[in-house]
Amino acid sequence: MILVTGGAGFIGSNFVLDWLAAGNEPIVNLDVLTYAGNLQNLEAIAGDGRHIFVRGDICDGDLIATLLREHPIRAIVHFAAESHVDRSIHGPEDFIQTNIVGTFRLLEAARGHWAALSSDAKSAFRFLHVSTDEVYGSLSPSDPPFAETNQYQPNSPYSASKAAADHLVRSYHHTYGLPVLTTNCSNNYGPFHFPEKLIPLCIHNALAGKPLPIYGDGMQIRDWLYVKDHTAAVRRVLEAGTPGETYNIGGWNEKPNIDVVKTLCRILDEEHPKADGTSYADQITFVKDRPGHDRRYAIDARKIEAALGWKPVETFETGIRKTVRWYLDHQEWVANVASGGYRDWINTHYGATST
């Protein structure tokens, strides 16, 4: 079986669901259930014996060691992270603890587990670290997309903490021989995306008749990757990636934020028209830009396509339409998250203990 960290979050829960849909290998899912972790994301596999959920912190090295001792773990897929740039600006310490210290604790436990395996099991073991394109800094309009060889130039506490984690992972391969893999992905979107991020926030606000807040001039460019394409790429890297290598995962979909929001509004106008006949685009509001806001990210995903045969299935147009449709069909989930009600659900149905 495999150990997944952060498997109740946005990308992690999509990975868990897609993994179990694609095969029968069981998962131990470790998540501390912070504000971004939501067990309701995993309701579709409630009662599935292939999914073992453990509420716990990746900073708890003893817990991780216990899980590795009690279960036949042949790979670790490490999604768990504090990931919201705005939160890192206002409260960076949580990012240092989770993204750096937590990754260190996980690596240490993995190193001990790996060292005790038989020769064949050691060769087959993998530690896959999921990171971000933000470690590379910001691109000018004329710069080529980020390649795996780009220099690290993180510009926020979030991206700096992820860069530090990347370096730790790399060092454990070169110093100890731990068979690690690192992926750096572009901006994800899709089902179960926490509603403080741009796309779900704007969908939620549009339907609620609230302003659609756009930082600065809205011309910050991101490379958008549908989350199901990302989970497929991670599965492929875990299956066939070369230990010690880094693989950039992108959607080949560079879009300015303002164009993303206008596209959302157009699709909402078609799928869920307003009673008064006006466009949701009338709710767009420009707000003060955040400090140190990077202007452009873009991923060169040629390496993973050439080496492993992966490329995204969804275009931005197909992926964003699926995303809007999902949020329209799951407004109860969105309302529960926006109100904080899912936290009450977790406390009532799960409490503070591990299972």
Per DSSP, 275 falls in state T
Catalytic annotation, pick one of 57, 82, 133, 300: 133
Is 18 a catalytic site residue?
Answer: no
How far apart are the C-alpha atoms of 125 and 29, rounded to whole Å?
Answer: 17
DSSP string, 231-271: HHHHHHHHHHPPTT-EEEE--S-EEEHHHHHHHHHHHHHHH
Is 300 a catalytic site residue?
Answer: no
Per-residue pLDDT of the chain (355 residues; tens, 9 = 90+): 999 999 999 999 999 999 999 999 999 999 999 877 899 999 999 999 999 999 999 999 999 999 999 999 999 999 999 877 778 888 899 999 999 999 999 999 999 999 999 999 999 999 999 999 999 999 999 999 999 999 999 999 999 999 999 999 999 999 999 999 999 999 999 999 988 789 999 999 999 999 999 999 999 999 999 999 999 999 999 999 999 999 999 999 999 999 999 999 999 999 999 999 999 999 999 999 888 888 999 999 999 999 999 999 999 999 999 999 999 999 888 888 876 654 554 455 445 433 3
Is 133 a catalytic site residue?
Answer: yes
DSSP string, 189-215: ESTT--TTSHHHHHHHHHHHT--EEEE
pTM confidence score: 0.93
Catalytic annotation, pick one of 134, 254, 294, 314: 134
| Structural domains of the chain sorted by starting position, each given as residue range(s) with its CATH number in brackets | 2-349 (3.40.50.720)
Catalytic annotation, pick one of 158, 280, 327, 342: 158
